[in-house]
A = this chain, B = another copy of it.
C-alpha cells in the first residue's frame, strides 16, 4: 500500500522560526530530552541551522523515485525527511533534486542514507544532514510512500512535525507540541544567560547548582 498524503498540517511559521533560533540542543532539552535522531546524522557543511516542517518519505534502498514524488508536496519552509525500508548509503539526492526542492521553497534534507554533489549543495547553501556522503546512483523502480509516519535514524517522525537541525545534529518536535516546546526552550535560553555570566566570572557549577551536599551524601570523597 503505497500512498502520497497531499494535505498535511504544519506548525505555525512563527513557532518554527523561533525553534530555529533555539537550536537542537536547547530544543531537545526543552521537550524532555526526546526526539533526537542518531548521532551518525551529520551535516554536509558547518554552520547551517534550520527549523522546518517535515515532508516525510519512506523509500526502498537505493531507489530515489519517491523523492521526485515528494518534491511536489513541498511548500515553502518545508524540509524533506527520508527514511529507508532497509539500510542504504546510496546517493539518493544531488544538485538537480536540490535545485528542484529549492525552487519549491524547500529548505533542506534529512536523509538516513547517502547524498552526493555535496560541493555544489554547499555552494547552493542547501543544507543536508545524512548518514553518508556517497556518489552511488539510485534507480526509480519501486514505490514507497510520502507523508506517512516514519522512523528515521531511530526517531519517530510524522508528516508536519517540526525538524530542528544544526551542527549538533537533528531533532524532531511533534507539531502539536511545537508552541509549548518553543516556550520552554526560550525560557531555558534566558536562564542560561545568567548562568553563563556567572560561570564566565569563575563561579563553579558545583555552587551555582548547589551540588556539594548531594555529592557528599552519595559518598564522594575528596582525597
A: residues with CB less than 8 A from B are 1-6, 23-25, 28-29, 32-34, 36, 38-39, 42, 45-47, 49, 60-62, 65, 68-69, 71-72, 85-91, 94-97, 99-100, 102-104, 114, 116-119, 122, 132-137, 139-143, 149, 151, 154-156, 166-169, 171, 192, 195-196, 199-202, 204-206, 209, 211, 215, 218-223
Contacts and interface: CB of A to CB of B under 8 A. Distances in A.
One complex includes copies of this chain to the number of: 6
A135 B71 contact: no
A46 B44 CA distance: 10
B103 A201 contact: yes
A199 B103 contact: yes
A45 to B, nearest CB: 8
A93 B15 CA distance: 27
A168 B91 contact: yes
A162 to B, nearest CB: 15
